[in-house]
Amino acid sequence: FGHTAGDALLRQLSDIIQTKIRSTDVLARLGGDEFGILLERCSQERAVEVAEAIRGAIEGYRFEWQDSFTTVRCSIGVVLVTNENMEDVAGLMSSADVACYSAKDMGRNQVHFYRDSDASLRHEEMKWVSKITSAVEEDRFELFFQPIIGIGDSDRRKHYALLLRMRDEDGNLVGPDQFIPAAERYNLMSTLDRWVIHKALSELADRSSEDDARYTIAINLSGTSLSEDRFLEYVINELEAQKLPKGAICFEITETAAISNLSRVVHFMQTLKKLGCKFSLDDFGSGLSSFTYLKNLPVDYLKIDGQFIRNVVDDTVDE
């Protein structure tokens, strides 16, 4: 709705929060859409109750603006101020921040009370940020592939899915389950996506044919990259530099990412399809699974989430 509406929303939310705390408590806007609350002489149990009351009030709030409306959610982290930690204000703020991130990890719209284990987990993730950045700079990522096997004759072109792996400083292979969560949290997915696209297009894609490619390689794109303004321009530049045959590249976009950026993703697809790219909708069935959305997305392939087809031979419900 624009900045003016955003400011109005923040003011109205602060009024809602004020109704759930005492006049002696302190409410402050820390920046952006983040608020901090200092509850004086308040037990752990009561603090969580207050946080839950604030969360529920915000969840039930309906923001109206120029004949439209929307709802919002919040994630809340709670930390107890004790004699041991009260001298370190920065540490207290950091702990509250970590607890808030943990609430987001739990699915958002949650209240999470800070535990020491939260900090060690966040510290471990921060170390991965440094490792990922170094691996990009030192070109220590590798692309593996696995064939996508067709059971019919509808598409004779060979099809391969690309898988990203990382080598640590000692040359050991690191799986994506170890570095992707940190990359997603700290906005490094676009950096990884760009690395994969450049490597795949310049070194792995089929360029022996002037008409249709002999094989297709599938590249996963993150929702972060799709929402980035200059990412489409980057992909176009890479494609034009390599001059690949039609069908050499298939981009895989998850259902959740597609629906959350629908108009942008449709524009992204339509633009790159004109340059000979194909598209696959990934994880179909794990999100909204709307066939209406599917009709509006110009996809070539549909990847049904594995949980639906894993037992399709034995389970009538799955079938």
Our CA angle for 174, 179, 183, nearest 5°, is 150
**In the predicted model, is pLDDT for residue 12 greater than 90?**
yes
**Ramachandran angles phi, psi of 293, nearest 5°:** -60, -40
DSSP 152: S
First CA to last CA distance, the chain: 44
Across 10-28, average pLDDT: 95
For the stretch 199-212, pLDDT in tens is: 999 999 998 777 88
Report yes or no: 73 and 109 within 8 Å, Cβ to Cβ.
yes
Q: What is the pLDDT of residue 289?
A: 58
Report in angstroms the alpha-carbon separations of 236 from 239, 267, 269.
Answer: 5, 13, 12
Secondary structure element (H or E) that encloses residue 236, with its range: helix 231-242
Share of the chain above pLDDT 90, in %: 52
Strands (E) in 41-196, as ranges, are 62-65, 68-71, 76-78, 111-113, 141-147, 158-167, 173-174
Residues 245, 207: contact at Cβ < 8 Å? yes
Residue 152 has pLDDT above 80, yes or no: no
Q: Tokens standing for 287?
A: 């999100």
For residue 34, count CB atoms less than 10 angstroms from its CB and return exposed for 0-12, middle for 13-18, buried for 19 or more: exposed
179-228, pLDDT tens digit by residue? Answer: 898 888 788 999 999 999 999 999 999 987 778 899 999 999 998 899 88
Q: pTM (2 decimals)?
A: 0.67
The 10s digit of each residue's pLDDT in 292-310 is: 777 778 899 988 878 778 8
Closest CA to 98 of 82, 118, 80, 117: 118
* Range of lowest pLDDT (125-129, 167-171, 201-205, 224-228): 125-129
pLDDT at 291 over 80: no
| DSSP run (H or E) holding 64 | strand 62-65
Q: Return the residue matching tokens 């997915």.
A: 189
Q: What is the DSSP letter of 200?
A: I
Distance between CA atoms of residues 126 and 121, nearest Å: 9
The predicted pLDDT at position 13 comes to: 95
Query: In this structure, are residues 278 and 301 in contact, taking their beta carbons and an 8 Å threshold?
Result: yes
- State the pLDDT at residue 94: 84
CA 243 – CA 221 distance, rounded (Å): 21
Q: What does the DSSP 8-state code read for residue 145?
A: E
Whether 162 and 196 have beta carbons less than 8 Å apart is answered as yes
